[in-house]
Amino acid sequence: MKFTLLLLITLISTYTLNGQNNSEQTDYFADNGFGNAVAVVQHPVGVYHNGVTYVCYQGPLEDPYVVSYHHKTGEWKGPYKAGVSEMGKDQSRKNKIDNHGKPSMIIDNAGFIHITFGGHGGMKKHGENTLGNYHYGKNLHAVSKKPLDISSWETLDNISPFGTYNQLIKMDNGAIYLFYRHGAHRSDWVYQVSEDNGRTFTTPISFLKHKRRTDAAAVDSWYPYITRGKKDELIVVFDYHVCRDVKNAEDKRGHIGERHNIYYMNFDTNTGKWKNVFGESLKMPLTKEIADSKTMITNTNTNWTFQGVIDLDPNGSPHVCMTIGADIGEKKSAPKHMQHFRWDGEQWKQHKNSGLPIGKGDLKVKSKNNVSVYMESTNELGDAEVSRWDSFNAGETFNKANVFLSQQKSSYNISSLIDNAHPNARFVVAEKKSGSEYKKIYLLGDNGPVKRNKKDAHILEK
């Protein structure tokens, strides 16, 4: 009996020393994130479906990678490469990671997983772009070869090559909507629709129009965020980009990331009608003049905006968050706090000093008064932090409720919320460290990081 016990202890000790102990867990699920591996605008990066969370991110050479996590068994699969981007391979650009081709994901009604990736407006070699201009990469669409199987993929040639900032949405009837900018900055925003599980798509349909300004050396451009609203409705928050000519008299910096104002509209996918918050019909594609007069939430004047997000409360009233701050070119240290806006049925309520920190993230509206914002930010000690901020008075004030990750001398890129998210796996973040080519990727939920066996998470060592 003593010999058997001693042998068992010896075997366990040997197993542990060899690094095979399955109890050795880590907070990240992969270490091969590349560049800005995830972002809010390319969304969703994940879908929860039948007990499993599926996640995509930008990996080595800017190619899309996919993992899955089974919540009941704790089993991880992947990452598997889902396709090959035309970006990240040009040796003349080897020190320039483009980052605009990060993947977004959806699962169709037949269970096939779809990934869109790889585009930053496309190039002239891909054909004529009648809805905008060109830049780099090629917008691509990959589909899993088998339902709910992330191990093998095929690329389909059925979407425009000129896309960037892909946003995928599946409706209750199974229709898939793909929204994106049709080219570089001077391009329309468009959508394509599939009613056969992503095997074919309609031609691109413009909904935000780019056009030359008559009062300045610039072109009207846009940055929208689109997501599900009530039933067959889609909701959109967007800001305006002044796409200035290079080295013009107004601003000798030339083209810069200048954005202003906040706008809202919704789209009834049943009728094909676009409307503002008052229910007034909008003529499409929307111009700057109509947007200003019919859809504006607030005029930010000289302040800049960045990355709006939106959700509805149970009564159907929209809540919006947008990062707002001074011109970063003039005041590099100027704070750019996230601000909250709420439609009260008659007007937009703006909460400028609600307590939300400087940073980016997404929001979840649980009731008219209960709002949560998931953010990456810098805490009072100067450390990078990923946290949740809660409001119980309809966004007037927020307080930090939970810290999921915190690290010195680092920062994080955060995704939007996962589609149909499990409470234990709500969003994804990628670590950012100076001097580090590859990034650790985390899946976070109410209980913090979803852990993985440390050996399995070390993808780069395999």
Rounded Cα distance between 57 and 455, Å, is: 20
**Cβ atoms of residues 57 and 241 within 8 Å:** no
Residue 43: which of 115, 142, 144 has the closest Cα? Answer: 115
14 touches 6 (CB < 8 A)? no
φ/ψ of residue 93, rounded to 5: -115, 20
> What is the C-alpha to C-alpha distance for residues 66 and 301, in angstroms, rounded to an integer?
41
The residues pairing with 427 across neighbouring beta strands, listed in sequence order, are: 444
Active site residues: 100, 165
Query: Residue 301 and residue 375: Cα distance in Å, rounded?
Result: 25
Tell me, what amino acid is at 394? A
For the purposes of burial, counting CB atoms within 10 Å of the CB of 417, is it exposed (0-12), middle (13-18) or buried (19 or more)?
A: buried
Q: Is the dihedral of CA 15, 17, 18, 21 positive or negative?
A: positive
Write down how long the chain is.
462
**Closest by Cα among 362, 419, 337 to 39:** 362
157 CB-near residues (< 8 Å, 6+ apart): 141
**Structure-block tokens of residue 103:** 């993947």
Tokens 């395999």 belong to which residue?
462
Pairing of strands 25-26, 427-432: unpaired
**Separation between Cα atoms, residue 231 and residue 215, nearest integer Å:** 41
The one-letter amino acid at 57 = Y
